Amino acid sequence: MDTAGLANLAEFSYIIGTMVASGEKKTINPLKTLVLVFVVILIINIVLFAFGKIDAFTFWMIIAFGALVAYYVVPKLMQK
């Protein structure tokens, strides 16, 4: 990890630490949570495909599933 990455990590840790220390109540945004989960799933999908742990069909099915969720579910969450 380069120094810029470490600086960003330190800044992120500081922000999270101050939010926790201040006792700030945060509501969990389901849209942000869903987006974060799918980004992590897609990154894992790409890594597994690159190392040959999953085949091309599985790779594309995961991407297609993510696209369908983004097309049908995300707009409904944004309307709430």
Tokens, residue 7 = 């600086």
What's the whole-model pTM score?
Answer: 0.61
Asked if pLDDT for residue 64 goes beyond 80, the answer is yes
Task: Give the separation between CA 29 and CA 54, rounded to whole angstroms.
Answer: 32
User: For the chain, how many structural domains are there in total?
Assistant: 1
What's the chain's length in residues?
Answer: 80
The tens digit of pLDDT for each residue in 47-56 reads: 999 999 999 9
Task: Give the separation between CA 41 and CA 22, rounded to whole angstroms.
Answer: 32
Angle between helices 56-79 and 30-50 (to 10 degrees): 170
pLDDT at 23: 60
Angle at 34 between CA 56 and CA 32, to 5 degrees: 135
Mean pLDDT score across all residues of the chain: 80
Q: 19: domain range?
A: 3-79
